[in-house]
Each structure stands twice: as C-alpha cells, then as structure tokens.
Chain A
Amino acid sequence: DTGVSQDPRHKITKRGQNVTFRCDPISEHNRLYWYRQTLGQGPEFLTYFQNEAQLEKSRLLSDRFSAERPKGSFSTLEIQRTEQGDSAMYLCASSLGTSSYEQYFGPGTRLTVT
C-alpha cells in the first residue's frame, strides 16, 4: 500500500493558463474525491467519483474546472483559464466505498497563479 499520490506537488502558472493535476488513489479504493484548501480554512469538497463515474460536483466547481477518472483508477483535475483566486492546495482522497467511510488523503498539489 503506497498511499495516495499526487503530481505535481507544486505548480506555478500565469493567469489565463491551463493546468492539470493527477491523483493516483490507493489501488483497491473505488471512491475518489477532490478537495480544495485555502489558507486558514479546512478542505472543501469539489467532486467525487465512484469507479469511473463522476457522481457529484460542488457548486464551487465552476465550468473552468473538469475532472476525469477514465478507467476507474487515476484521476485528473484540469483548470482552464486560471485566475488568481484558484491559488490553493488541491487535495485528492480515496476510500474503499460502502461500509468504509474513512478517506485517505494525498500530499496535495499547491497551485500558485501569478
């Protein structure tokens, strides 16, 4: 069990550019979540996959954000036309699913939009 991994760990981009983050969950976990954390706040839910199906999206996820989990394994989160307000830590978590509600988090990707 190697835990949840995320890549890259840090990303600096200029406003208006597109960025893509990757998350590799724990291998037997069928649920995958994306959260965003800003300074002084707890993580906020963005979206959730069960296997390859995206089942819920937060209203925080504007149409500039898109997430995929094409084969039910790794997931990507893309932000188009980044804005300075997108600067945050993007966290991925996975869980086993039914009857197991603990979520295990990756180290996060810190995005800075200049």
Chain B
Amino acid sequence: DQQVKQNSPSLSVQEGRISILNCDYTNSMFDYFLWYKKYPAEGPTFLISISSIKDKNEDGRFTVFLNKSAKHLSLHIVPSQPGDSAVYFCAASNTGTASKLTFGTGTRLQVTL
C-alpha cells in the first residue's frame, strides 16, 4: 500500500509565481517529514524538513506546512525560479524506529519563463 501519496504527477508554474506541491500520508506513526529535489541522473537532494510537533517550517524561498489532522503536508516555493524545475519527492519517517524514509512517487515541477 502507498503510505505516502503525491497525487499530482506534474505541475507547471510561471517564473516568479508560487509553486505548491502537495503530499498525503496514511500512517499515523510518521512523525518526521522531508522534501527532496531530484534532477535526472542524480540522487535526491535534501530541501527542508518538519517535525510533527510543528505545523510550519521556513527556509528561504521554501516553506513546508503540516496538517496532522488531515495527514497532509505541502511545500511552497516562492518565488519560483527556472532552476527549481525538477522532480520533488515527499518522504516520511518514524523517528522511533530506524528512521527509514518512505517516499511518495514524486511531482515534476516545470517553472516556465
């Protein structure tokens, strides 16, 4: 079963606008969430994370929001830049165990000029 879901396979946004990527999870034992960016032929690059004790974490242009009751998180990128074009993966872990990551299937973001 897919415990972490990214229901939008792709998203196109104009440069300068906000990109919003969404992620849903089903396992209530997850207590730490991460976003990774991936370019072709490279490994995933860590972007930003959030603990379940928070509902928001910000780092520069990137903000992650967590809604525990809805089991939903989102990544906001503002302003979007052409270099942000990549595949974005949402991942979740249970820090009480091995902290292995469970990934979604990814959302391909295209930032257009």
A95 to B42, Cβ gap below 8 A?
no
A102 to B45, Cβ gap below 8 A?
no
Q: How many residues of A contact B (CB 8 A)?
A: 26
Assembled-state Cα–Cα distance A55/B23 (Å): 29
Interface: B93 (CB within 8 A): yes
B43 to A102, Cβ gap below 8 A?
no
B95 to A48, Cβ gap below 8 A?
no
Assembled-state Cα–Cα distance A94/B32 (Å): 16
Q: How far is the CB of A78 from chain B (nearest CB, A)?
A: 20
Q: Say which one of B13-21, B63-71, B76-84, B102-110 lies at the interface with A.
A: B102-110
Question: In B81-113, which residues have CB < 8 Å from any A CB?
Answer: 89, 91, 93, 95, 97-106
Interface: A105 (CB within 8 A): yes
The one of A41, A44, A102 that contacts B49, using a Cβ cutoff of 8 Å: A102
Secondary structure of the A contact surface, majority rule: strand
Interface: A28 (CB within 8 A): no
B43 to A56, Cβ gap below 8 A?
no
Given A103-B46, A107-B43, A108-B43, A45-B100 contact (CB < 8 Å): yes
The chain B residue with its CB closest to the CB of A100 is: B99
The chain A residue with its CB closest to the CB of B4 is: A42
Residues of B near any A CB (own CB < 8 A): 4, 32, 34, 36, 41-46, 49, 89, 91, 93, 95, 97-106
| Residue contacts A-B, CB under 8 angstroms, 8 given | A33-B100, A42-B91, A42-B103, A43-B101, A48-B100, A93-B101, A101-B49, A108-B42
